With several copies, the nearest count.
Chain A
């Protein structure tokens, strides 16, 4: 394992020290593992809090700032945070208008946020939880823990963050988050596996010419393995897989997030995006907005995920709203 770290045990703490040093606009509580905005919003406003295992940077800490999150709770690498973090975050940023937790659908995250919500309620805070479950690689049946939460998290955090910033009430912000999640589907392909520092070796073995189709952001297995194919074919397959599940029809508008999983050069992401855009055009879907880059990563995994969110006037307007975070800025 070749990594720029001090020790596997100290990765999270050391990275938080770096975040603190690099971002005076954030307040980083290293012992409690909570990242908040350095400047508290003025009036009462719904506080938007997210969190999850580390290793997906810039998610979530990179999205803390005006127009997006109020706080992020980073867990150990690929391990959900503990309720104490979310409670500390909620107490730190609650601003008289209640708290929304944005939670990616993984058993650990769901349960830890659930306990946090209980604890926060005991302390008199009003909490709503928005569950993100957009990964169509997993069938959403009683046979599974349900679809995983991936790229749609960025969409939910951005749009709900914009709405919260405008002073919308708690239930409205939560409802918007749920609506954006419901309007979103994602699908990912990995070329290589991620190596968790504490594990010291790749999470799965993939032969030199094979890809994992439908991979999860912690290296969860996908639908199948197959030979690597040209970007054009992979893009078409990913688009078609999402459209099948999503029931978009010609004429629909989407926000498209083409996300790098961590080790994919931006040059390649643009190659893929060109093919995604072409395929969507063939299928009659209009891309109203797009975002290409590393937003929900999986450590050093090579590959990409595509998220398509059905757009409407309100969502586009919230998507376009100003935001000022380390990883997403818009004037």
Chain B
């Protein structure tokens, strides 16, 4: 299918730049969610990280998607701290490592899946623990299913974003078992997880980047 556009370096860079813009815009909301069941810094953590990633990508110049995303992950690890820094950092590095060149939907699906594996390896969270994993898992499943049935990149990414958002919403009734929110015990129930919410944002941004 030579007509299907592939996920290349410029698209990868657009994705990261779009995440930075989205995080900037959604920072108050992420902060508010993290204030309810965490320590209120998830928004500023991600803003610090993705702002630094923009600078890093400026310095990198044109590159293949793997290099763009690996650089992004490395920057997040170096700049964010907290729980989300290493988790998203490792995730983007894993996605990058799985994308040596421009990628078709199926390859991108596997790369996103590698990102999830990295999050789970480091954070040891199971689905249902009220974390990033609860948005990322359905997103990967949706992306992979769409890709397997011949969806284009925008179609697969939109399905993934929808699934991630649903996954994020579904964290609300859960009791947190990982991260800071777990200290709240039952009091964590009834709040949407900030990390799952930012994951949904990352997938929605991917869909938008690929669509426009």
State the A residues within 8 Å of B (CB): 53, 75-76, 78-84, 106-108, 111-112, 114-115, 138, 142-145, 148, 196, 198-199, 203, 216, 218-221
Stretch binding the partner chain, chosen from B73-81, B102-110, B139-147:
B73-81
Q: Given A108-B82, A114-B122: A79 and B182 within 8 A (CB)?
A: no
Report the Cα distance A80→B35, complex, angstroms: 17
Report the Cα distance A220→B177, complex, angstroms: 15
Nearest-neighbour CB distance to chain B for A1, whole angstroms, equals 14
Q: Given A79-B41, A79-B45: A143 and B185 within 8 A (CB)?
A: yes
Interface residues of B in 27-45 (CB under 8 A from A): 35, 39-41, 44-45
Q: Is B86 an interface residue (CB 8 A)?
A: yes
Report the Cα distance A160→B123, complex, angstroms: 28
Report whether B39 and A219 are in contact in the complex, using a CB–CB cutoff of 8 Å. yes
Number of interface residues of B (CB under 8 A): 31
| Total A-B Cβ pairs within 8 A | 89
Report the Cα distance A107→B123, complex, angstroms: 8
Nearest-neighbour CB distance to chain A for B3, whole angstroms, equals 41
Residues of A within 8 A of B39 (CB): 78, 196, 203, 218-220
Nearest-neighbour CB distance to chain B for A59, whole angstroms, equals 16
Q: Given A111-B122, A115-B86, A144-B177: A83 and B182 within 8 A (CB)?
A: no
Report the Cα distance A78→B80, complex, angstroms: 12
Nearest-neighbour CB distance to chain B for A162, whole angstroms, equals 30
Report the Cα distance A75→B83, complex, angstroms: 13
Q: Is B184 an interface residue (CB 8 A)?
A: yes
Known: A199-B35, A203-B39. 14 other contacts (CB 8 A): A79-B41, A79-B45, A82-B77, A107-B178, A108-B81, A108-B83, A108-B86, A112-B85, A138-B183, A144-B177, A145-B182, A196-B39, A198-B44, A219-B39
Q: Is B87 an interface residue (CB 8 A)?
A: yes
Residues of B within 8 A of A81 (CB): 81
Q: Is B179 an interface residue (CB 8 A)?
A: yes
Report whether B44 and A111 are in contact in the complex, using a CB–CB cutoff of 8 Å. no
